[in-house]
Amino acid sequence: MFVYDDPDLGRWLGHSGWFPGHRTAVVHYLDQGVTVALQMNTDRRDVDLFERAEYIAKMFAKPE
């Protein structure tokens, strides 16, 4: 589990994983109360799941 700070969404906790043919990530945005879980059928390392989780979380973010 890692703890990060995002300038738009605040503090978040997350972890990712890899298995041949699959990638996963789970992120919980503490200030927003939003959790995003992603699983992709790929093992490409150039796919940033945390970036995709942020995009999804912004759709559900509380207005400032």
Structure tokens at 16: 């990712």
Q: What is the pTM of this model?
A: 0.85
pLDDT of residue 64: 66
Q: In this structure, are residues 50 and 24 in contact, taking their beta carbons and an 8 Å threshold?
A: no
Q: In this structure, are residues 17 and 23 in contact, taking their beta carbons and an 8 Å threshold?
A: yes
Count of beta carbons in the 10 Å neighbourhood of residue 40: 14
pLDDT of residue 43: 83
pLDDT of residue 1: 87
**CA neighbor of 49 nearest in space, from 20, 19, 14:** 14
Domain boundaries, the chain: 23-46+53-64
Q: In this structure, are residues 1 and 26 in contact, taking their beta carbons and an 8 Å threshold?
A: no
Q: Grade residue 40 by pLDDT with cuts at 50, 70 and 90.
A: very high
